Amino acid sequence: MRARVSLLLGQILIAVAFLSTWQVLVTTGKLDKFFFSRPSDIAARISTWLQTGSIWPHLLVTLEEAALAFALGAGAGILCGFALARSPRLGALADPFIRILNALPRVVLAPIFLLWFGLGIWSKVALGVTVVFFIVFFNTHQGVRDVDKSVVDNARMLGASEWQLTRHVLIPSALTWVFSSLHISIGFAVIAVVVGEYLGASRGVGYLISQAEGVFDTTGVFAGMAVLSASVLLVGLGVNRLERWLLRWKS
């Protein structure tokens, strides 16, 4: 407990030192205020957004898109990762196609999804799924393949069915890999949907940032980035709690 408190205090001190240095550099003119807004101005803008409630419709749309992209991409990635890891022949057959799809630039796909699904949420969700899926897929696939073969063989000798083997051996062993990919995927899901909103949307934090950038409002740009960062941090804490609960048997 004491170590956690010490770590948290260290993180807070680093954040305070960084923001204070930034504030001083802009205030003294060492950094141009036109390009680098002051943290105090950014905080004031966020406070105004919260008081007026203008940020909530945009934030809720972005979080909805990110949540759908995360859930669909992670679910598909876990299922496909398990399936191909347990079927080496099928995995070898699909391998070149998976690598080709993973190599496609996501920024190029964004305008195509806009054409297919329009300016609504589903074009952003589709872009987010293409990012999340491959992160989760490769980690799940590797996690299942790295399970100790002697443990698998012993379970089969004891008469375990494929479902029992998956539930009691493969899933617990691969959970560390899966959660590692989920931590990474949260941020990438938000990035993907914000890029989609930036390219074409009528709502969302990405749209808000795009509008602020269009009028050279650096305070609005940084404020939007800060709101997104805080949201990702909170979601990440939730995933950490879920991970500790599911992996409590390891402690």
pLDDT at 105: 82
Asked if 109 contacts 144 with a C-beta cutoff of 8 angstroms, the reply is: no
Q: For residues 46 and 208, what is the distance between their CA atoms, to the nearest angstrom?
A: 12
Asked if 239 contacts 183 with a C-beta cutoff of 8 angstroms, the reply is: yes
Q: For residues 243 and 82, what is the distance between their CA atoms, to the nearest angstrom?
A: 19
Give me the residues of the chain with pLDDT under 50, please: none
Tokens at 33, concatenated: 């205020």
Q: What is the DSSP string of the chain?
A: -HHHHHHHHHHHHHHHHHHHHHHHHHHTTSS-TTTS--HHHHHHHHHHHHHHT-HHHHHHHHHHHHHHHHHHHHHHHHHHHHHHHH-HHHHHHHHHHHHHHHHS-HHHHHHHHHHHHTTSHHHHHHHHHHHHHHHHHHHHHHHHHTS-HHHHHHHHHTT--HHHHIIIIIHHHHHHHHHHHHHHHHHHHHHHHHHHHHHS-SSSHHHHHHHHHHTT-HHHHHHHHHHHHHHHHHHHHHHHHHHHHHTGGG-
Residue that is written with structure tokens 């805080």 in the block: 230
pLDDT at 248: 66
pLDDT at 73: 93
Tokens at 179, concatenated: 């959660």
Q: Using alpha carbons, select from 188, 179, 195 the residue that is nearest to residue 129.
A: 188
CA distances from 116 to 51, 89, 127 (A): 37, 34, 12
pLDDT at 163: 74
